[in-house]
Amino acid sequence: MRNKRDYHLEAPTWCPGCGIFALFDALKTTAAAMDLDPEHMVVVTGIGCHGRLSNYFKAYGFHGLHGRVLPVAAGIKLSNPGLQVLGVSGDGDAYSIGLSHFIHALRKNINLTYLVVDNRVYALTLGQTSPTSSLGFVSKSTPYGSKEVPLDGIRMALAAGGTFLARGFSGQSSRLASLIERGMKHKGFALIEVLSPCVTQNKLYSYEWYKENVYLLEDDSSYDPRDRNHAWERLNAGGKIPVGLIYEESRPSYEELVLPKKEKPLVFNDLKIDMPKFENYLQKFR
C-alpha cells in the first residue's frame, strides 16, 4: 500500500499560504487512498502558478502550453486509456484561452479528471483580471475596476453537458481529497473547481472571505446532485457559493463510444519505422 510520500517528488516553491498547497496535498492523499501506481498516472498542467504542480507530484507530467491542457490530456487518454489522466489549469488557463477545449471536452465526456484552480486572478503574470474576477475588480489590467461580468465555470459546464461537476475549497483539504477521489472514479469527464486563495496577487479573496461566503451542499439533505434542475437552481441562486458535489450523471464516456473494442489501444501498436522512407522525409527538412 502506497502512502502520500510516494507521490511527493520535490518541495513546492509556491508563496507561503498559497491555496495550491492544499490541492497538492489533497491529490497526494487521494492517490495514496486509491493506491495509484505513479507509473500509470499522468498530470498535465497549463501555464500559471498551478502549472508547477506537475513538477512536484510524482507521476508522469506534461507542463504544456497556456490553455492547452485538455487537448494534450485527451490525446494521452485516447491513445492509452489505461492511464489515470489528470489535467490541472488555472481560471485563466481553463476559462479564458482554453475555453473552447473545456466546452468540447465536457460534451464529449472524455474520461479525465480536470482540476481548475480558481484564484480569480492571473497570478503568475503578477495579478491581472481573469475571467472569474468580480465586477469592479481593481488590478494592473483594470485600474478603474473590471467592467466584465465574471464567468461561472460550473454553470458553463452544466450547460455544456458535464457529467461530474464539483467545487472544493483549498481551506478544506480533506473534503477536497474526497471530491477528487469521486471524480477520479467517475466514468467520464470530472470537473473539480478549487476555490484557491492567491495570497500574493489577490488580497480580496482571502481564506476568511471564502469561509464566510461558501456553504456545504452536504449539509442540505434535500439537495440531490442527480437532479439537473436542482443543480441549475442552486447555481443561479446567487448569494453564498455552493461547495461539494453539484451534479453527477451516468453517460458513456467518449472512449467507450469511439475506441474500437477489438483493437489494442494505439500506444501498444508496433510502430515499425520504414528507415529508407523516414530518411526520405528527413531529407526534405535538411
Ligand X SMILES: Cc1ncc(C[n+]2csc(CCOP(=O)(O)OP(=O)(O)O)c2C)c(N)n1
By CB under 6 A, name the binding residues for ligand X: 46-50, 66, 90-93, 117, 119, 121-125, 130
* Residues 98-137, interacting with ligand SF4 (CB under 6 A): 119, 123
Residue 91 partner contact from ligand SF4, ligand X, none using kind-dependent CB cut-offs of 5 to 8 Å: ligand X
Residue with cell 498516472: 41
Alpha carbon of 90 to those of 64, 137, 187, 263, 280: distances in Å? 13, 18, 23, 36, 43
Residues with Cβ < 8 Å from 67, sequence gap 6 or more? 46, 47, 89, 93, 94, 96, 97, 98, 101
Using the rule CB under 6 A, which residue among 22, 49, 78, 156 binds ligand SF4? 49
Give CB contacts under 8 A, 24+ apart, made by 254-262. 254/78, 254/108, 254/109, 254/110, 254/111, 255/77, 255/78, 255/81, 255/110, 255/111, 256/187, 258/78, 259/78, 259/81
What, of ligand X, ligand SF4, none, does residue 90 touch, CB below 5 to 8 Å by kind?
A: ligand X
What CA–CA distance (Å, rounded) separates 89 from 15? 18
Q: Measured from the CB atom, is 9 or 216 closer to ligand SF4?
A: 9
Residue whose CB is less far from ligand SF4, 94 or 165: 94
By the rule CB under 6 A, 173 interacts with ligand SF4 = no
Q: Which of 96, 132, 201, 253 binds ligand SF4 (CB under 6 A)?
A: 201
Q: Which of 199, 204, 241, 259 binds ligand SF4 (CB under 6 A)?
A: 199
Binds 66: which of ligand X, ligand SF4, none (CB < 5-8 Å by kind): ligand X
Do 163 and 189 contact (CB within 8 A), yes or no?
yes
15 makes contact, choosing from ligand SF4, ligand X, none, with CB < 5 to 8 Å by partner type, with: ligand SF4
Work out how close the CB of 125 gets to ligand SF4 at its nearest, in angstroms, rounded to a whole number: 10
